[in-house]
Amino acid sequence: MKWEEIGDQPCSVARTLSILGDRWTMLILRNAFMGVRRFDDFQRSLGLTRHVLSERLKRLVEHDILVKVPYVERQERFEYKLTEKGLDLYPIILSMTQWADKWMDMGLGKPIEFTHKTCGNKMIPKMVCSECNEPIKAKEVRASAGPGYFAYIEQKQKSA
């Protein structure tokens, strides 16, 4: 399978990777969540080429994850803001952070701590079951095909 076709699979992980599946895109998103908005600020903080940054920002805008908004009318200057769809990616960033804090801290501790503004406490992200509120553990979850999988198979058979 070619990389360009990965998003065509009946798999939510593959579909997500078809948009977010490279290191620069995830770092751009991390910075957007930390308040970076302008092209030059992204480039300065990440150190990537203008071409690569432009390409990744364009993809995020095309997929409605970021929206390009003018901040100086005359000079055609823009900033990039997270959309609702983009904001919904925050749990992914938190999960990646938590994993790296556990397994890759080099014995130095967490490089960033998160404070929940509502209660004022430092927090550790936790994924819980929507039904019983218990923490989710990989060995306690069973995956099975959902309606989208069967609809995908049916659609492929009709187009073949």
State the pLDDT at residue 152. 85
CA distance 15 to 9: 7
Q: Which of 11 and 73 is assigned the larger pLDDT?
A: 11
Q: Model-level pTM?
A: 0.86
CATH number at residue 72: 1.10.10.10
Q: Which of 71 and 52 is assigned the larger pLDDT?
A: 52
Distances (CA, A) of 107 to 97, 98, 100, 124: 15, 15, 11, 18
Number of domains forming the structure of the chain = 1
Q: Residue 123 falls within a domain, yes or no?
A: yes
Q: Residue 154 falls within a domain, yes or no?
A: no
Q: Residue 148 falls within a domain, yes or no?
A: no
Quick check: 3 pLDDT over 70? no
Per-residue b or e along 71-110, where b marks 16 or more CB atoms closer than 10 Å to that residue's CB: eeeeeeebbbebeeebeebeeebbeebbeebeeeeeeeee
Least confident of 77-81, 118-122, 156-160: 156-160
Tens digit of pLDDT for each residue in 109-145? 999 999 999 999 999 988 999 999 999 998 999 999 8
